[in-house]
Structure 1
Amino acid sequence: MLVLKLISISMDYQDGMTGKKSKHAVSELPSILEYCGYLGGMNGIMVGPHFYYDDYTRYASGTGEYANLGTQKFPRRALPALKALGTGILCAGLFAFATKTVPRSAIIFSKEDMSFFKRFTLSFLANMGYRSRFYFAWHLSESAYILSGFGFDGYEEDGKTATWTKAINAPIADIELNPSAASVVTRWNCHTGQWLRTYVYERVGGRGFWPVLVTQIISGVWHGMTTGYVLFFFNSAILIHCSRVIYRIQKEYLPKKYLAVSNEVHRVHTLFNLNYVAGSYAAGNVYKCLGWFASLYYLGHIEMLTIILVGTIFFPRKHPKRKAAAPASQDEKKKA
């Protein structure tokens, strides 16, 4: 988290000094006290969520959305904070239960001759239990962010219901039941995802698979220089691109009446492949990664690459038709 903050404040200051129009650019170098306050202050210093320096300065100075902080006009925080805390405690219980019942490494890297269905089902439960420890930590941080008031991000359209977007780092339903892998990565550890988009993806430039691959590889290096992490994020880049191909086919080729059915098929594809690539996240070396993929007959890679090839060859991107230019008037012809 300190690395994320260090890079973001450096690049935001660089943007401000060079005149680059970016959302979080700052034009003044922070003092030592302000800098240390940004790095060490606030909640979630170990696990996030990440926040930007300009958000921190508005909070510290009581300006912008925090102008009413400490007064009766500021939204009530007790109920949403308790809700986040309760969810975190439930996730901690799930993690404790799953760790004892279906230990992740014992399932994924077991040499036992399991059927495909049994191995996949047990690994899915084990990975869900493993994810719950992150849900616990992030919901604990969320409750602290809300209590401090820092998670406040304005009101909904009704002007009365407060939103705590800055505090939320992993909405569970949006992750576990999402039909699109490309959307899942924006919800899982979403503030770090925003950091990657702001400082990597948008600055790499281009479109398609390349910026996604660079972003995911940098994410893997940030997590740790192990084969398991790098392979996980490399494969997740393929999965994200595959999901985008599916979405494009749904949007440009399928009739709307089949959208609900195709969404469910997309959801099954996402659940299977997220669990499939997650096995490499737990591995420490390339041999364990390949052993895990081989135990599932490389079906995830075969399916994803097949979808990308079929979608690219038989369902190419439809370019919108350009509107024909209106004929020039007599006055315009004379001017020409």
Structure 2
Amino acid sequence: MLTLSVFEGQILSFYCSLCWIQKYLAISRMPSLLEYLSYNCNFMGILAGPTCSYNDYMAFIEGTGYQPRHQDNANANGKENGKCRQSEPSSKNDVVSKLCTCAVTLAIYLSLCKLLPVERCIDEDFVNNTPFHLQVLYLYLAMLALRPKYYFIWTLADAINNAAGFGFNGYNKDGSPRWDLISNLRILDIEFATSFKLFLDNWNIQTSLWLKRVCYERCPINPTAATFLLSAMWHGVYPGYYLTFLTGIVMTMAARAVRHNIRPYFLGSASHKCVYDVLTWLATQVAISYTVVPFVLLAVGPSLHFYRSWYFCLHLLCLLVVLVLPVRSRRRQPPEPRDAVQEERRADHNSTDNNCNQKDKAT
């Protein structure tokens, strides 16, 4: 009975969190023409479109963006140091760090992009005369050389926003400011991702959050497929986009089935868990590289030619996994226990802040 109560409490906490996020993002009044144009055409996001929610942007414009409203850190705002408020944070260190990241990623991309073209994967001579395991290795290296292009532009956009004072997201446990409110990627989490979902969660983060909030959390029927199809339409009209995201649906379902059915057998010891992480990292990198080839080639002919050269092996394997391994629906599952603990700590933190504000007013 106790287990059931905890389970129900986690479900309630999970859906309360979803409702709170949706309420925070809701726009209570019609924006004026100036506000609308400012949000869509501001100099920080005009090249790539708005990279944040409207309410976050207006909080930045109105100067209320430094108030701790929706922080995920349990000890935000320097609570560990016994402080109720901290001085206005500086983004200097984060901007310098992100500009250095831009320089490194740009240098890597310019050095490798000509040496490892993706188009070589569909070259007849390469396909016919190269062993399959070397084709797999080349595909991974080609995609690895291509990603720094996105790392550069997204990190540069993040640095520009931070330099303008936009992007503050509360404080870390040690009281240092966080400037990742509108960050679009986490490079190390991408390169060392051990699941398809983990890779996608750290890639193009702001678009993923938008897709999750407007589609996944609202779609009553097969939200995973609906979200991938909406993402394909959002990217544009090239056929390669649709081939990529249709493949992504099958990949995600197969990865979810493997995680639910296979992963528990590797959690008995640290060494088994390490083996599982290495294997899933390898599988994730190969699956991602295989999936996004049409995203790079764009046209139907070259994309299908690549998949035919691989005999559609990962498509068939994923379909087999989905058919054989059962998987529970995730729509009604609560978050991990650590998320529930974070929610409880966040509530305690908000209560502490309210008490501190009341004391300040009384003083």
TM-score by length of 2: 0.74
Give the aligned partner of residue 330 of structure 1. none
Give the aligned partner of residue 85 of structure 1. 99
Q: 1:142-153 counterparts in 2 under 5 A?
A: 142-153=158-169
CA distance in 2, matches of 1:316, 1:238: 16
Q: CA deviation at 1:122?
A: 2.0
CA distance in 2, matches of 1:236, 1:247: 16
CA distance in 2, matches of 1:48, 1:178: 27
Give the aligned partner of residue 353 of structure 2. none
Alignment of 1:236 with 2:248, yes or no, is yes
Q: 1:48 to 1:185 in 2, by over 3 A?
A: farther
Alignment of 1:63 with 2:64, yes or no, is yes
Q: Secondary structure at the match of 2:181?
A: helix
Q: Secondary structure at the match of 2:297?
A: coil
Give the aligned partner of residue 3 of structure 1. none
Give, as a single letter, the amino acid of the residue that structure 2 aligns with 1:215.
T
Give the aligned partner of residue 111 of structure 1. 124
Give the aligned partner of residue 31 of structure 2. 30
Give, as a single letter, the amino acid of the residue that structure 1 aligns with 2:39.
Y
TM-score by length of 1: 0.79
Q: 1:185-334 counterparts in 2 under 5 A?
A: 185-206=200-221, 210-250=222-262, 252=264, 254-257=266-269, 258-312=272-326
8 Å Cα contact 2:169-2:180 kept in structure 1: yes
Q: Secondary structure at the match of 1:167?
A: coil
Aligned CA-pair RMSD: 2.5
Give the aligned partner of residue 179 of structure 2. 164
Q: Secondary structure at the match of 2:57?
A: helix
Q: CA deviation at 1:252?
A: 4.8
CA distance in 2, matches of 1:202, 1:90: 37
Q: CA deviation at 1:254?
A: 4.7
Q: CA deviation at 1:259?
A: 2.7
Q: Secondary structure at the match of 1:46?
A: coil
CA distance in 2, matches of 1:140, 1:252: 40
Q: CA deviation at 1:168?
A: 1.7
CA distance in 1, matches of 2:168, 2:268: 37
Which deviations, in whole Å up to 9, do the C-alpha atoms of 1:43-77 show, x marking residues without a partner?
2332367201111111111114269xxxx922121
Q: 1:215 to 1:128 in 2, by over 3 A?
A: same
CA distance in 2, matches of 1:135, 1:21: 29
Give, as a single letter, the amino acid of the residue that structure 2 aligns with 1:176.
E
Q: Which of 1 and 2 has higher RCO (CA within 8 Å, sep 6+)?
A: 2
Q: 1:48 to 1:73 in 2, by over 3 A?
A: farther
Q: Secondary structure at the match of 1:238?
A: helix
Q: CA deviation at 1:302?
A: 2.7
Give the aligned partner of residue 98 of structure 1. 112
Q: CA deviation at 1:198?
A: 0.6
**4+ residue stretches of structure 1 with deviation over 6 A?**
none
8 Å Cα contact 1:228-1:286 kept in structure 2: yes
Q: CA deviation at 1:83?
A: 0.8
CA distance in 1, matches of 2:281, 2:189: 12
Percent of aligned pairs with the same amino acid:
27
Of stretches 35-44 and 193-202 in structure 1, the one that deviates more from structure 2 is 35-44
8 Å Cα contact 1:250-1:262 kept in structure 2: no
